[in-house]
Chain A
Amino acid sequence: MRDTRRTRIALGGLLAAAALLIAAGRLGAAYPLRALGGTMLGAAERGMASATGSLAAVLGGPGAAGSGAKVNELERELISARLELSAERLDRAEYDQLARLLRLSSRERYRVVAATVIAVGQGWEQAVTLGAGSRQGVRAGDTVLNGAGLVGTVTRVSPSTCTVLLDSDAGAVVGVRLAGSGLLGWVTGSGAGLSGPALLRLRVLGPATGLATGEEVVTSASVGGRPYVPGIPVGVVIRVLSAPGPQGSLTATALVRPYADPAALDVVGIVIAGRGLT
């Protein structure tokens, strides 16, 4: 019970161990521990999620009435359709240019893996774990979306699970273009907290004449469709905060309401892109 010398030595040891871990992570040397934790705890989370899922099914909760596979399949189809629509909506000429530039093959269909959220990021983080991993072909950098719009990108993969950094995380940066004016920019998340729907912050490079409320924001192209497949709807501009004035900054800022609600994710699709695409 009492605070002895030995207790203090033990405390010092534990704090030193934690500091060492942080330092190792900074230097990129904590990877094996991360991988081990991801594999073991990921498997435990999968077990836990299936246990709670079957419990919910027994209790007759909504959306859990033994139709998980069907829901998954429907959701997957919806997401595939959404992807096709995104490709269609990209301006044809522009798309051809992009395709040539990024060596995307327009005939190549994206493959979509449906996965459910099994764990949710803790505290300040806007991240989720999905129940699909490298065994299903998921790799770091794959785009994740649901029927509503962009969800995030895969950052870490274990054999049976993967971690998705949501675009609402303060550390996430998504390259976007405005569907109407074609202006390029990027959105960042606002992080945890602040009750109500989490808004994204959009910054647009260049003249802000096209920046208007109600305009749709879609992902812009990235090499090989990673980390974001082009043309995925992200959200809609709800408020223009500042326009680049004659003496002001170079960027215009606006708030974007995301289509996908990061707080209510269940079945999502992981876009397996860049494989077999030359």
Chain B
Amino acid sequence: MSRLARRGLIALGVAVLGMAVAVLQVTVADRVAMPGGVAPDLPLVAAVLAGLARGPTAGMLAGFAGGLGLDLAPPSVHPAGELALAFCLAGYGSGRASGWAGRSVPRRLVVVPAGAAAGEALRALAAAVLGDPGITAAAARHVIPWAVGYDTLAGGTLVVLAALAARARARHGLARRGLARRSPARRGLARGWLEGRGPGGGWQAVPGIRRPAGPRVPGDFALRRAIAGRAPGVRRATADGIAPRGAAPAGIFSRGTGPGRAFSRRGVPGRTVAGRTVPGRTVPGRTVPGRTVPGRGVSGSALSRHIRAGRRAMPGSGWRASPRGGRSFRISWRRASPSRRGRPRRAGGTP
């Protein structure tokens, strides 16, 4: 299928979805009697969420389609195009803010009310400019806060649910692929956590991530594959926040503008993985959540401690960290003395 045809198809799909949301709005949402006599504007919420999830283009397309649906769906008595204009701008704005929000739920929960407020205000403004006699200061003071509140409630709930679902799915996907416990190669994959926050926002394999020079170690292919974006499961797993919180960042740092990190407890030469993932389990009476334990001897944790402590090298390992401006580092490996090579090293050795 040609690119143009595919784009046309996508636009058509968005238009149909927008109309469907508009119909849902007037037949269901607006008929539910709620305190304040106002209902959430589903097309506006959809536009803000689309912008957050997919960027400005998706946001403005969704806003335009949903707004046009509301403009044309029967009980509308306002000029057609009014809501398309207002919601399109709101979706675009939320798309612009998506870079700042990334995948962070709290930040998204800031963008949602801001986008809703912008959309409702723009809508009232457009209606007032076009001469709607219903837009009075008293009515605006009543309608806009209630509408923004309901929009925020609806959008915020969806944001939180989506985050929870993504988390559960990632966990489930990992378990299904057996990434957590089965074959050594897959274990390598599961452990080659890759986590990065790129300039565009969101967890992703950042193009700026580069594996530092150094000897290869068995199992390190997992990391390389992950960096190349070819490792199934890894990106999704990390993308959804499963990357071990507080685990040792080792080996690779993002050179992007954000605080990107790559985790690999296999990416350190001469080191066997000592960290382990403890699956969640239920013991009588309570549920123990799963966690990742950096084990004794994980070089990365030592390295990160060094870096955080302001030191630039890890004694005895050959690993160096040089600042690249801001909070990013370039990690390099230089062979230390030959006598040291191959010898097991103690992690967290005295700095």
Residues of chain A having any CB pair with chain B under 8 Å: 1-3, 7, 10-11, 14-15, 17-22, 24-26, 30, 33-34, 36-38, 40-42, 44-45, 48-49, 52, 117-129, 155-156, 158, 161-165, 169-171, 190-195, 263-264
Alpha-carbon distance between A120 and B26 when the two chains are bound, in angstroms: 5
**B26/A15 in contact, CB under 8 A:** no
Known: A7-B56, A124-B134, A195-B142. A45 touches B89 (CB 8 A): no
Q: Does B73 contact A (CB under 8 A)?
A: yes
Residues of B within 8 A of A171 (CB): 77, 132-134
Q: How far is the CA of A64 from the CA of B96 in the complex (A)?
A: 46
Is B202 in contact with chain A by the CB < 8 A criterion? Answer: yes
B127–A122 contact, CB under 8 A? no
Q: Which residues of the partner chain A approach B68 to less than 8 Å between Cβ atoms?
A: 18, 21
- Please report the C-alpha to C-alpha distance between residue A190 and residue B134 in the assembled complex, in whole angstroms: 7
Q: List chain A residues, Cβ under 8 A from B99.
A: 1-2
Identify 28 residue pairs between A and B in the complex whose beta-carbon atoms are under 8 Å apart, listed by A's number. Answer: A2-B55, A10-B60, A10-B61, A11-B60, A11-B92, A15-B89, A19-B81, A21-B71, A21-B80, A25-B80, A40-B19, A45-B23, A52-B27, A117-B31, A120-B26, A121-B76, A121-B77, A122-B39, A123-B147, A127-B76, A156-B74, A156-B77, A169-B134, A171-B132, A171-B133, A192-B134, A193-B140, A194-B142
Once bound together, how far apart are the Cα atoms of A118 and B88, in whole Å? 27
Please tell me if the beta carbons of A194 and B23 are within 8 angstroms of each other in the complex: no
Residues of the A chain whose Cβ atoms lie less than 8 Å from the Cβ of B333: none
B263 in the interface, Cβ–Cβ < 8 Å?
Answer: no
* Interface of chain B: mostly helix, strand, loop or mixed: helix
| Closest 7 A/B residue pairs (Cβ) | A37-B72, A21-B81, A191-B134, A170-B134, A193-B142, A18-B85, A119-B26
How many residue pairs between the two chains, A and B, have CB atoms under 8 Å in the bound complex? 208
Q: Given that A45-B26, A49-B27 are contacting pairs, would A195 and B73 also be in contact in the complex, using a CB cutoff of 8 Å?
A: no
Q: Is the CB of A48 within 8 A of B28?
A: yes
Judge whether A44 and B134 touch: CB under 8 Å.
no
Residues A163 and B81 in contact, CB atoms below 8 Å apart:
no
In the bound complex, CA of A169 to CA of B77 (Å): 10
Contacts of A37 in B (CB 8 A): 71-74, 80
B134–A122 touching, CB < 8 Å:
no
- Cross-interface CB contact of B80 among A34, A52, A129, A193, cutoff 8 Å: A34
Residue interface mask B16-31, A partner, CB < 8 A = 1: 0001101111111011
Are B82 and A22 in contact (CB-based, < 8 A)?
Answer: yes
Known A11-B88, A14-B64; contact A22-B130, beta-carbon cutoff 8 A: yes
A122 in contact with B76 (CB, 8 Å): yes
Whether B142 lies near A11 (C-beta < 8 A) is no
Kindly state the separation between the CA atoms of A103 and B255 in the bound complex, as whole angstroms.
85
| A35 nearest in chain B by CB position | B72
Quick one: closest B residue to A10, CB to CB?
Answer: B57
A264 CB contacts on chain B under 8 angstroms: 33
Q: Is the CB of B72 within 8 A of A33?
A: yes
Which of A20, A26, A163 interacts with B74 by CB under 8 Å?
A: A163
Give the shortest distance, in Å, between B257 (CB) and chain A (any CB).
13
Q: How far is the CA of A117 from the CA of B30 in the complex (A)?
A: 12
- Inside 8 A of B80's CB, which chain A residues have their CB? 21-22, 24-25, 30, 33-34, 37
Given A1-B55, A120-B75, 10 new contacts (CB under 8 A): A18-B68, A21-B79, A41-B69, A119-B73, A155-B77, A171-B133, A190-B139, A193-B37, A193-B138, A193-B142
Cα A148 to Cα B77 in complex, Å, equals: 24
* Inter-subunit contact A191/B26 (CB<8 Å): no
Complex contact A18–B84 (CB within 8 A): yes
Q: How far is the CB of B220 from chain A (nearest CB, A)?
A: 30
Q: How far is the CA of A34 from the CA of B98 in the complex (A)?
A: 34
A52 to B19, CA, bound (A): 18
Cα A163 to Cα B76 with chains together (Å) = 8
